[in-house]
């Protein structure tokens, strides 16, 4: 199949231009590596296209994603300094979410933090504040029952305008997969930790 040529054209009443410009809801799931990394790689591409990029991290890890955050934030700085690319915002769940700090009674309640975080994203989607959203490891609060999957999927489906959203994490709920336009499963074939290796800077974070 030649690149860029669709296999079939659906009877959806859209012009090619409308279809081409349809915002993408993507899901990177599976047990293999590369789910978040590929989302951040897409964010680079979105940055270059001048899109307003926002990353929302939903699971706190020891190292967060310091490499990706530093690189994407540096690209946001390039945008501010030179106008190249687009702006980049980076938000962390929990203590990293500034709008939760004010509400510190909930600070240690991860489920409540996830709900408040999602509410903020839903608000931003409604206000069309960004063009390209990475909801990093967002499947976990869905899988753990912290968020209502149907409400989340409905909000994502009905988001206004032309906002791309990429969701990453294992065990993506079927309802989310059904709603998505682009779903890739990252399957682990082999991992260095299987051979007793530990993570290392520049590779794992």
Binding to its own copies, residues 125-164 (CB under 8 A): 131-132, 164
Shortest approach of its own copies to residue 146 CB, angstroms?
Answer: 20
- Which residues lie below 8 Å from residue 121, measured CB to CB, with a gap of 6+? 56, 133, 135
Residue 191 CB burial class (10 angstroms; 0-12, 13-18, ≥19) = exposed
Instruction: Tell me, by CB under 8 A, how many residues bind its own copies.
Output: 83
Contact 43, 53 (CB under 8 A): yes
Q: In 10 A of CB 169, how many CB atoms? A: 23
Site for its own copies in 23-52 (CB under 8 A): 24, 27-30, 32-42, 44-51
- Residues 2-21 close enough to bind its own copies by CB under 8 A: 3-10, 12, 16, 19-21
Q: How far is the CB of 104 from its own copies (least distance, A)?
A: 27
> Under a CB-based contact definition with an 8 Å cutoff, are residues 172 and 137 in contact?
no
Distance of closest approach, residue 79 Cβ to its own copies, in angstroms: 9
Least Å from the CB of residue 69 to its own copies: 8
Which is closer to its own copies, CB of 100 or CB of 172?
Answer: 172
Contact 132, 51 (CB under 8 A): yes
**113 sits near its own copies (criterion: CB under 8 A):** no
- Binder among 60, 64, 71, 106 for its own copies (CB under 8 A): 71
- Residue 107 or 177: the one with the smaller Cβ distance to its own copies is 177
In the region spanning residues 164 to 183, those forming contacts with its own copies, defined by CB under 8 A, are 164, 177, 180-183
CA distances to 56, 124, 132, 135, 171 from 204, in Å: 19, 30, 24, 19, 21
């Amino acid at each position: 199949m030649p690149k860029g040529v669709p296999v079939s054209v659906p009877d959806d009443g859209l012009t090619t231009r409308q279809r081409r410009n349809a915002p993408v809801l993507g899901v990177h799931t599976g047990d293999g590596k590369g789910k978040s990394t590929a989302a951040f790689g897409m964010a680079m591409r979105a940055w270059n296209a001048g899109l307003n990029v926002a990353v929302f991290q939903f699971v706190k890890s020891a190292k967060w994603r310091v490499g990706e955050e530093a690189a994407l934030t540096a690209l946001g700085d390039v945008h501010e300094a030179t106008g190249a690319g687009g702006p980049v915002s980076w938000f962390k769940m929990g203590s990293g979410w500034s709008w939760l700090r004010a509400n510190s009674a909930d600070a240690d309640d991860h489920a409540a933090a996830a709900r408040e975080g999602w509410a903020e994203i839903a608000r931003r989607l409604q206000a069309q504040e960004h063009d390209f959203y990475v909801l990093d490891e967002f499947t976990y609060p869905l899988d753990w029952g912290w968020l209502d999957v149907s409400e989340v999927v409905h909000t994502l489906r009905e988001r206004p305008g032309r906002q791309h959203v990429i969701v990453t994490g294992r065990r993506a709920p079927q309802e989310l997969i059904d709603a998505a336009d682009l779903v890739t499963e990252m399957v682990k074939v082999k991992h260095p930790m299987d051979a007793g290796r530990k993570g290392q800077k520049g590779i794992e974070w």
